Structure 1
């Protein structure tokens, strides 16, 4: 009986902990969207979340840990979408990848613009970070490449790791232009998708190569 009570108590504490974390992340998101990245401070998070500063530190760590957690969730959502078995065709998969990203960004453009600016300043996209956004995004792109190769769409002459880095680079360059206000979100999609398709064309089988050329012409019109 005593073990059961202890187990229930632990489960309750864990549930409360998760609720506090979700609350803090929600407040962090609102702060960034409404007031900009610099408004996100541990003290403001604590006040607006109704917790103490030590609680925020204990649950997350520092400010950059909170921002990194936001991006981890984003990459996880995209990864989940790419796990669908029907996403084998590189053209369709590229479109789904970008449409998922842009659906997220488009739902709250102010937040994502400010968050990406802050993320760059904190170095969350540095290549050498083992748990950083860059590496996680590269893994998503590698899955896309491996699936396309196994499906007979790519020759496999170019290592998936190199293709994945180029795919991510195309998306990242367009995202930076969007974050800085140089292009709108639809132009972001156009530029990123064309770049991704041209990357696939470098290793594409003849049928896919022809389809990519036709798609790029349509996108560029």
Structure 2
């Protein structure tokens, strides 16, 4: 392999990632991946037995990126603003938002291994919120409060964005502040 060139496998993954973001999971076919990646169908099948296998390989990479972005939220950021920012990050990139779209719209169609990886998206978000609040408030919120915060933010930011509307961040900030009063 030439230096500096991505492997065929990574080229296929990068193409699939872009296509999932543009067309969704169902709208992306192996044939479209072959065409856009500029590789042969046998090359794709030598690396990935199915489209779900591609997604399964992409998910840990993307979940790691999302987690790393969350960790970059400045510790000086106010408590509510930090939580909102962690959700805002998810909707600012089409490929990350596509993972949410797949997780909520198509997760039930996935093999157990893919289903479990998609579930990690919400688990990691809730864990981060718990850690963030523990740092800001000095105590770990209970699971019911974490669920309420995540559900409120998901509806206000992610579902609103998926519905082609703009999130009302000031309203979300007020609602979150009322939930977080200890």
Higher mean C-alpha displacement, 57-66 vs 89-98: 57-66
Unaligned runs of 5+ in 2: none
Hey, what does 2:151 align to over in structure 1?
169
User: Is residue 81 of structure 2 the alignment partner of residue 81 of structure 1?
Assistant: no
Q: Does the residue aligned with 2:108 lie in a helix, a strand or coil? A: coil
User: Is residue 177 of structure 2 the alignment partner of residue 200 of structure 1?
Assistant: no
User: Is residue 162 of structure 2 the alignment partner of residue 153 of structure 1?
Assistant: no
Note the aligned Cα RMSD (angstroms): 4.2
CA drift of 1:126 comes to 10
User: Is residue 84 of structure 2 the alignment partner of residue 95 of structure 1?
Assistant: yes
Runs (4+) of structure 1 exceeding 6 A deviation are 124-130
TM-score (norm 2): 0.67
CA drift of 1:118 comes to 7.9
Change (3 A) 1:76 1:194: farther
Aligned residues: 180
Trace 1:1-221 onto structure 2 (pairs within 5 A). Answer: 12=1, 19-32=7-20, 37-84=25-72, 86-87=74-75, 89-105=78-94, 112=97, 116=101, 120-123=105-108, 131-149=116-134, 151=135, 153-156=137-140, 158-159=141-142, 161-174=143-156, 175-179=158-162, 181=163, 184-187=165-168, 189=169, 196-201=176-181, 204=182
CA contact (8 A) 1:32 1:39 kept: yes
TM-score (norm 1): 0.58
Residue-by-residue CA offset, 1:7-46 (whole Å, 9 max, x unaligned): xxxxx59x86x53233223433454455554431112212
Asked which structure has the greater RCO (Cα within 8 Å, sep 6+), the reply is: 2
CA contact (8 A) 1:125 1:134 kept: no
Unaligned runs of 5+ in 1: 1-11, 205-221
Q: Does the residue aligned with 2:137 lie in a helix, a strand or coil? A: coil
Residue-by-residue CA offset, 1:127-184 (whole Å, 9 max, x unaligned): 99674233233223313312422x351543x43x4444333323333423432x3x51
CA contact (8 A) 1:127 1:134 kept: no
